[in-house]
Structure 1
Amino acid sequence: MPRCTNSSCPMGTQIDIAASPAMASVPKPPKGHFNVLYFASASSYTGKDHEALPAPLPLSKLFAELEARYPGVKAKVLDSCLVTVNLDYVEVTEGDAEGSLIQEADEVAIIPPVSSG
């Protein structure tokens, strides 16, 4: 599968978040949890680079869970971000009862739009 290192990658490609020095120190999640990695404005808004959340969690409920923890994050960050699960881009569709489950030890990345001058 093709890999890229920025958020302009199309769905179905992988992003190499391991190339980020900040992510080299992310510990494995505790048993029964998965890691969420926050980049750019997502990190600024939450005040964290990463955290562990209880697994399993339906992908369709991810944004609601983050909104419950960080009120306002959905409108300010999540509605315009890309999401990867285990380095694969995914679409987060709220209310999708048939959607994927985020499993124990998975790695989810919240990647806001990237801009440069």
Structure 2
Amino acid sequence: MTIPTFQIHYFASATTYTGKQTESLPAPLPLHQLFDVLESKYSGIKEKVLTSCSVSLGEEYVDIHDCEGVMIDAGSEVAIIPPVSSG
């Protein structure tokens, strides 16, 4: 039996911190628990990376702090997008 998963994509400092560009995590997962799950896998990531990141679910940006009831379902794609500066 295959465990249902979703794909999470890391960019910039999130890639550097995790050492990965993408990985699969078990689904479903309430969106508001995502940062806690990542913190348990990568100690310190919440403070050092995630507090300044944007999160997308599918192709929509989501507010991780105002997402009660939003689930990350099997087959979904989530992206952790650190701030981008231009000059």
TM range (shorter): over 0.9
Question: Which runs of no fewer than 5 residues in structure 2 stay unpaired?
Answer: none
* Higher RCO (CA-CA < 8 Å; seq separation 6+): 2
Q: TM-score, normalized by length of structure 2?
A: 0.92
Cα RMSD between the aligned structures? 1.6
Is 1:113 matched with 2:63? no
AA partner of residue 111 (structure 1) = I
Question: Could you tell me which residue of structure 2 aligns to residue 66 of structure 1?
Answer: 38
Residue deviations 1:40-67 (CA, integer Å, cap 9, x gap): 0000000000000000000000000000
State the secondary structure of the residue aligned to 1:51. Answer: strand
Question: Which runs of no fewer than 5 residues in structure 1 stay unpaired?
Answer: 1-29
**Which 4+ stretches in 1 moved above 4 angstroms?**
none
Greater gyration radius:
1
CA contact (8 A) 1:83 1:108 kept: yes
Q: TM-score, normalized by length of structure 1?
A: 0.69
Q: Between Structure 1 and Structure 2, which shows a larger proportion of strand residues?
A: 2
Count matched residues: 86
